[in-house]
Amino acid sequence: MEQMRKIVKRSFRESIEAKQRCLDENAEALIKAATMIAEAFDGENKLMIFGNGGSAADAQHIASEFVNRFMIERPPLPALALTTDTSILTSVGNDVHYQFPHVFSTQLKALGVEGDVAWAISTSGTSANVVKALEVARERGLRTIAMTGPGGGKLAEIADILLAVDARITPRIQECHITMGHIICELVDYQLFQRIAST
């Protein structure tokens, strides 16, 4: 029992410390990312979010906050996760000409237009399919955000805005990612509707 208590305390401590560093290093970039997304929505463009594994779940989570609602009542906003259509993912992943490194970039080629925002999530910053998608997004005139672990990996070289988490443990990075995702949702709502949730 005592060892389990130590695990609990250690995990909370690591998460708190990672989030403090995340705040110190990303506050201005979070405002810039939210402004980029708000401007896209205001210009009748859309947001496309993507990643693998836990990052895929984060992409779906964040997209749902925009399409439905976050903390205030407001109109739905055009966001989609490129991780949800199993027919597209398995078709591209199985195609001899494309395969898994292209599961997101193929969708961006089909759906993305200039002025849209592509939001890549990768704890390593080096996931091949995520990097390829952000490269295609830039080629097509989309604005780009990358949310990563320390340093940003390859995504740091191609993203307009980098939100990097200075942590070595993947769960701590992911905990910061969803916190930053929620903050961006709230900032976008505030910019577009000039209202905040009552506390």
Q: In degrees, to the nearest 5, what angle opens at C-alpha 191 toward C-alphas 42 and 19?
A: 120
Residue 100 lies in a domain: yes
- What does the pLDDT read at residue 198? 67
3-state helix, strand, coil in the chain (%, to 5): 55, 10, 30
Helices (H) and strands (E) in the chain, counts: 7, 5
Residue 199 lies in a domain: no
CB count, 10 Å around CB of 115?
14
| φ, ψ for residue 197, nearest 5 deg | -70, 140
If one counts the domains in the chain, the total is 1
- What does the pLDDT read at residue 196? 77
Residue 133 lies in a domain: yes
CATH number assigned to the domain comprising residue 132: 3.40.50.10490
Domain that residue 188 falls in:
2-193
Residue 83 lies in a domain: yes
Residue 7 lies in a domain: yes
Cα(105)–Cα(89) distance, rounded to whole angstroms? 11
Cα(149)–Cα(173) distance, rounded to whole angstroms? 6
Residue 76 lies in a domain: yes
Residue 198 lies in a domain: no
- What does the pLDDT read at residue 16? 97
Tokens standing for 196?
């905040």
What is the pTM for the complete model shown?
0.95
Residue 139 lies in a domain: yes
Distance (Å) of CA 82 to CA 130, 133, 197: 11, 10, 29
Q: Which residues pair with 47 in a beta bridge?
A: 79, 117
pLDDT in tens, the chain (199 residues): 899 999 999 999 999 999 999 999 999 999 999 999 999 999 999 999 999 999 999 999 999 999 999 999 999 999 999 999 999 999 999 986 889 999 999 999 999 999 999 999 999 999 999 999 999 999 999 999 999 999 999 999 999 999 999 999 999 999 999 999 999 999 999 999 987 776 6
Residue 2 identity: E
